[in-house]
């Protein structure tokens, strides 16, 4: 959905903006999303975002603009999402605000044009130059350390300068540009003290070289840049993985589709022009551009994006299909049910892009510490300089050396990487396991849950009823029952229609569906019914029979009632999930709107002792609120429209990809695979991520506790400070990478057992 162009045109006329800016605003307008409350959401690419301080600056700066309701900066995707209160607000102020903050915006389409990740190439080149200079300057420094004197020492210093100075200028560009941009706007960021430390070390070394001094620190300047660039490159690679996951999803979207007209003619329309209700023809080998329902044709499709399963699935008339699904074998006509911007693929892409937007406890702590970093570092460096000036009686050389070492060793790269790298790695691992994380803070909340609460139908079971026992005799009666069942969209009727093997070639008259009861028709002058037992018994010869309690009934007027009992298939991995969560000490319960007998049978079959049946949506919500008041932190797993309030109210929530749109929107995690092992794996990953983050914080804090006093005491020269600082960052990144080794604990045998397990139940949740 887009907003009107009036404010944009007015702004352009008033301010005589450039063609590039007009193109940016035009794309912002085209990609704008109008929300239910009338506010408008805009997204922009901001390549200059590279640290937590950038996020804080952007969100605070844009949040002060008039009409701005919400601002989210995404570090992995380097995008900014801004919600304005109405269409009347021009998005021009967003772009201007970003320019004023020193973070120029560009259209999202530029991300595709900038193929090959130019920033990564720049970082690798800078790292190569710094590494070459570091290696060669270190070789020359070894000779000086081993006793080279006078002219030889001076020659080595000057050769080192010739190597180091160009390397510092080129390799330091990422830091110098960022620092200058911040200083121009009277702000501080982490790159300011880094740039100051590198510049002072180089200037001191050059001064010493011309003065014939015994020590120069070109090796410290080049090594600092080399190790800093290693850390920044690793950080960039980790974030590129998150961007690549979202970009791969975006590329699965078709660019448009062939719309079938009233006379059967086809015309190609771009993706943005496809609207609900249109008939779209999708040929074999093409991807479905929007969500829809098959109205003509049959085909096999690859739904791995939705289910995580690689086996093709057959589609026929009336079957729903999601955008991004690949059509494999035959041409199909679908009726679009949602616009491209609201499709399942678009929803999943937005969830991937939003994986870091949440601000959890640890991330807020890291942000606060990073904001304090620059002033604290400069105060420590200045204090060290003044203290050593007093101690040495004006020895500025030693005092400045100590101050430079303090500036270098207090770089908060390890602290800044502690949370985001762990979250990026964890979200990537979850995505590989078919679990989409909507909010970075959800990982922290998942790690603290004390209870797990499950819906039944569609969550613990597949939600698709199957015939357990059919009493309808073969022959003419089965044909009548199938003809009735084929005209109903009720899941129970569809299951019966699939079960009966005879053709539905029965001529029925006055066939219609009675809402809440079933399907009715005339056959050879007699009424036939299929549906609710009490309703079908009204026309049966025996009348009402209270002994028949559940199932789908069929009868011909004046004849007996034939009951088909249904069962639901337990989701694969259910027992493994229950065992895993119980081993972690979580309390487990089932909250369902189904009848008590069916809920009890299902709960017992998978090993859950506590269950509540016959609950309405409001009662589920009240139960979760009661648990929260008692101090419990509940994980809610549900799928239906009636579960949405409970999903939103829970401490953290999960939903399968087959859930209703509202259910998926309300959940913090969505799992695309059939197996419930996804639930226990998400909990396991959250616990592991929490441990990794705490370890990263501990490493960063312990490093500073020991390193800073040593540097202030003059026990570390700038070279040792540079190596120590960079090593701490690399250790934090390496520690976070251990999350990639997480494995889903589920055996094939248990999956098969779960698949075979059947629990009696009704078709309704």
**8 A C-beta contact, residue 231 and residue 726:** yes
pLDDT computed for residue 660 by the predictor = 59
**8 A C-beta contact, residue 523 and residue 509:** yes
Helix (H) or strand (E) holding 691: helix 677-712
Helix (H) or strand (E) holding 437: strand 435-437
122-126, 496-500, 613-617: lowest mean pLDDT where?
Answer: 613-617
Residues that are catalytic: 455
Instruction: Provide the 10 A C-beta neighbour count for residue 607.
Output: 13
Q: What is the mean pLDDT of residues 460-475?
A: 79
Q: What is the mean pLDDT of residues 412-417?
A: 65
Q: What is the mean pLDDT of residues 136-142?
A: 80
**Of 372, 481, 315, the residue nearest 56 (C-alpha):** 372
Q: What percent of the chain has pLDDT over 70?
A: 75
Query: How does residue 10 score in pLDDT terms, banded at 50, 70 and 90?
Result: very low
- Cβ neighbours of residue 230 closer than 8 Å, sequence gap 6 or more: 127, 726, 729, 730
Q: What is the mean pLDDT of residues 536-550?
A: 66
User: pLDDT tens for residues 581-600?
Assistant: 999 889 999 888 777 777 88
- What single DSSP character describes residue 524? T
Instruction: Provide the 10 A C-beta neighbour count for residue 328.
Output: 16
Query: How does residue 1 score in pLDDT terms, banded at 50, 70 and 90?
Result: very low
More confident residue, 560 or 3: 560
- In the numeric block, which tokens belong to residue 693? 């983050």
- In the numeric block, which tokens belong to residue 629? 């008041």
What is the three-class DSSP state of 115? coil
Q: Between 150-171 and 218-251, two packed helices, what is the crossing angle to 10 degrees? A: 20
DSSP one-letter string for 244-289: HHHHHHHHTS-SEEEEE-TTS-EEEEEGGG--TT-EEEE-TTPBPS
pLDDT computed for residue 681 by the predictor = 92
Exposure on the CB side of residue 642, measured as CA atoms within 13 A: 19
Residues 215, 185: Cα–Cα separation, whole Å: 37
Parse the chain into domains and list their residue ranges. 6-113, 118-246+357-422+692-740, 256-349, 463-569
- In the numeric block, which tokens belong to residue 345? 């693929």
pLDDT computed for residue 761 by the predictor = 33
- In the numeric block, which tokens belong to residue 159? 């050769």
- Which residue in the block uniquely carries the two structure tokens 């190609």? 268
- In the numeric block, which tokens belong to residue 44? 């922009």
Residues 698, 712: Cα–Cα separation, whole Å: 21
What is the three-class DSSP state of 460? helix
What is the three-class DSSP state of 388? helix
**8 A C-beta contact, residue 1 and residue 341:** yes
Residues 267, 287: Cα–Cα separation, whole Å: 17
Query: H helices within 462-587, ranges in order?
Result: 476-486, 491-499, 533-536, 574-583
Q: Does residue 759 carry a pLDDT above 60?
A: no
Query: How does residue 310 score in pLDDT terms, banded at 50, 70 and 90?
Result: very low
At residue 447, φ and ψ (nearest 5 deg) are: -70, -15
More confident residue, 148 or 687: 687
At residue 340, φ and ψ (nearest 5 deg) are: -60, -40
CATH 3.90.79.10 assigned to 256-349? no
Q: What is the mean pLDDT of residues 538-557?
A: 71
Q: Does residue 716 carry a pLDDT above 70?
A: yes
Would the CA dihedral through 41, 659, 644, 684 be positive or negative? negative
**8 A C-beta contact, residue 336 and residue 295:** no
**Highest mean pLDDT of the ranges 30-39, 231-240, 420-429:** 420-429
End-to-end CA distance of the chain: 34
- In the numeric block, which tokens belong to residue 228? 């800093």
Exposure on the CB side of residue 744, measured as CA atoms within 13 A: 23
Question: How far, rounded to the nearest angstrom, does the alpha carbon of residue 535 sit from its chain's CA centroid?
Answer: 47
Q: What percent of the chain has pLDDT over 90?
A: 3
pLDDT computed for residue 451 by the predictor = 92
Query: Could you say which architecture CATH assigns to the domain 6-113?
Result: 2-Layer Sandwich (3.30)
- In the numeric block, which tokens belong to residue 373? 């970093």
76-80, 217-221, 337-341, 543-547: lowest mean pLDDT where?
Answer: 543-547
Instruction: Provide the 10 A C-beta neighbour count for residue 583.
Output: 10
Q: Does residue 372 carry a pLDDT above 70?
A: no
DSSP one-letter string for 311-341: S-EEE-TT-EE-TTPEE-SS-EEEEE-S-GG
- In the numeric block, which tokens belong to residue 221? 């300047």
- In the numeric block, which tokens belong to residue 755? 């698949």
Q: What is the mean pLDDT of residues 260-288?
A: 84
Residues 466, 565: Cα–Cα separation, whole Å: 9
User: pLDDT tens for residues 313-355?
Assistant: 777 788 888 887 778 777 888 998 888 777 766 765 665 455 4
Q: Is 0.85 surpassed by the pTM of this model?
A: no
- In the numeric block, which tokens belong to residue 351? 């969830």
4-8, 15-19, 731-735: lowest mean pLDDT where?
Answer: 4-8
At residue 609, φ and ψ (nearest 5 deg) are: -85, -35
Q: What is the mean pLDDT of residues 401-413?
A: 75
- Cβ neighbours of residue 332 closer than 8 Å, sequence gap 6 or more: 281, 282, 294, 296, 297, 298, 299, 315, 321
**Of 296, 291, 301, 292, the residue nearest 264 (C-alpha):** 296
Helix (H) or strand (E) holding 391: helix 361-391
Q: What is the mean pLDDT of residues 624-650?
A: 79
The shares of helix, strand and coil residues in the chain, as percent rounded to the nearest 5, are 55, 15, 30
Q: How many residues does the chain have?
A: 765
CA distances in angstroms from 642 to 455, 524, 661, listed in the order given: 10, 42, 11
Best CATH choice for the domain 463-569 from the list 3.40.1110.10, 3.90.45.10, 3.40.930.10, 3.90.660.20: 3.40.1110.10
Query: How does residue 661 score in pLDDT terms, banded at 50, 70 and 90?
Result: low
Q: What is the mean pLDDT of residues 608-626?
A: 81
């Amino acid at each position: 959905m887009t907003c009107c162009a009036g404010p944009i045109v007015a702004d352009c006329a008033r301010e005589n903006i450039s063609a590039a800016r007009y193109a940016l605003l035009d794309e912002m307008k085209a990609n704008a999303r109008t929300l239910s409350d009338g506010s408008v959401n805009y997204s922009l690419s901001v390549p200059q975002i590279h640290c937590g301080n950038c996020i804080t600056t952007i969100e605070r700066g844009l949040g002060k603009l008039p009409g701005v309701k919400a601002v989210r900066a995404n570090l992995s995707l380097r995008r900014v999402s801004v919600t304005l209160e109405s269409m009347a607000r021009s998005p021009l102020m967003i772009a201007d605000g970003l320019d004023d903050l020193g973070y120029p915006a560009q259209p999202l389409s530029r991300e595709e044009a900038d193929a090959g990740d130019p920033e990564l190439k720049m970082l690798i080149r800078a790292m190569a130059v710094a590494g070459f200079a570091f290696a060669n300057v270190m070789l020359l420094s070894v000779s000086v350390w081993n006793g080279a004197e006078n002219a030889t020492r001076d020659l080595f210093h000057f050769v080192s300068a010739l190597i180091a100075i160009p390397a510092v200028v080129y390799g330091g560009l990422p830091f110098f540009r960022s620092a200058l941009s911040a200083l121009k706007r009277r702000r501080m960021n982490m790159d300011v003290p880094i740039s100051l430390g590198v510049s002072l070390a180089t200037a001191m070394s050059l001064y010493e070289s011309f003065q014939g001094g015994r020590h120069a620190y070109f090796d410290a300047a080049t090594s600092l840049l080399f190790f800093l660039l290693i850390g920044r490159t690793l950080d960039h690679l980790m974030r590129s993985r998150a961007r690549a996951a979202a970009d791969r999803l975006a590329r699965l979207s078709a660019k448009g589709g062939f719309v079938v007209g009233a006379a059967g003619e086809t015309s190609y329309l771009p993706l943005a022009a496809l609207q609900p209700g249109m008939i779209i023809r999708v040929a074999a080998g093409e991807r479905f551009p929007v969500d829809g329902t098959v109205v003509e044709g049959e085909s096999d499709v690859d739904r791995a994006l939705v289910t995580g399963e690689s086996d093709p699935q057959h589609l026929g008339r009336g079957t729903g299909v999601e955008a991004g699904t690949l059509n494999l074998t035959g041409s199909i006509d679908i009726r679009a049910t949602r616009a491209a911007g609201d499709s399942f693929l678009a929803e999943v892409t937005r969830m991937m892009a939003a994986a870091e937007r949440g601000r959890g406890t640890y991330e807020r702590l890291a942000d606060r510490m990073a904001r304090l970093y620059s002033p604290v570092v400069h105060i420590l460096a200045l204090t060290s300089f003044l203290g050593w000036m007093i101690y040495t009686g004006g020895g500025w050389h030693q005092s400045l050396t100590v101050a430079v070492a303090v500036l270098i060793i207090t770089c908060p790269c390890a602290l800044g990487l502690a949370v985001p790298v762990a979250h990026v790695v964890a979200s990537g691992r979850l995505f590989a396991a078919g679990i989409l994380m909507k909010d970075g803070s959800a990982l922290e909340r998942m790690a603290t849950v004390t209870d797990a609460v499950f819906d039944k139908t569609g969550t613990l079971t597949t939600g698709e009823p199957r015939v357990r026992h059919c009493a309808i005799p073969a022959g003419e009666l089965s044909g009548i029952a199938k003809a009735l069942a084929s005209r109903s969209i009720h899941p129970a009727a569809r299951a019966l229609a699939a079960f009966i093997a005879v053709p539905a070639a029965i001529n029925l008259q006055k066939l219609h569906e009675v809402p809440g009861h079933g399907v009715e028709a005339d056959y050879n002058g007699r009424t036939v019914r299929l549906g609710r037992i009490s309703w079908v018994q009204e026309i049966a010869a025996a009348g009402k029979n209270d002994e028949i309690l559940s199932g789908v009934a069929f009868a011909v007027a004046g004849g007996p009632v034939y009951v088909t009992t249904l069962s639901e298939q337990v989701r694969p991995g259910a027992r493994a999930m229950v065992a895993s969560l119980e081993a972690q000490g979580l309390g487990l319960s089932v909250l369902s709107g189904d009848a008590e007998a069916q809920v009890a049978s299902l709960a017992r079959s998978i090993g859950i002792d506590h269950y509540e049946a016959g609950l309405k949506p409001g009662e589920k919500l009240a139960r979760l609120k009661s648990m929260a008041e008692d101090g419990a932190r509940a994980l809610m797993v549900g799928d239906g429209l009636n579960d949405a309030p409970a999903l939103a109210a829970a401490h953290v929530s999960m939903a399968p990809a087959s859930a209703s749109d509202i259910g998926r929107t309300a959940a913090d995690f969505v799992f695309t695979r059939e197996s419930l092992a996804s639930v226990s794996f998400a909990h396991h990953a959250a616990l592991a991520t929490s441990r990794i983050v705490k370890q990263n914080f501990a490493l960063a804090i312990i490093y500073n506790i020991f390193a800073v006093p040593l540097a202030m005491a003059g026990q570390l020269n700038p070279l040792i400070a540079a190596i120590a600082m960079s090593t701490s960052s690399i250790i934090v990144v390496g520690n976070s990478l251990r999350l990639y080794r997480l494995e889903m604990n589920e055996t094939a045998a248990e999956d098969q057992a779960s698949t075979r397990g059947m629990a009696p139940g009704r078709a309704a949740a």
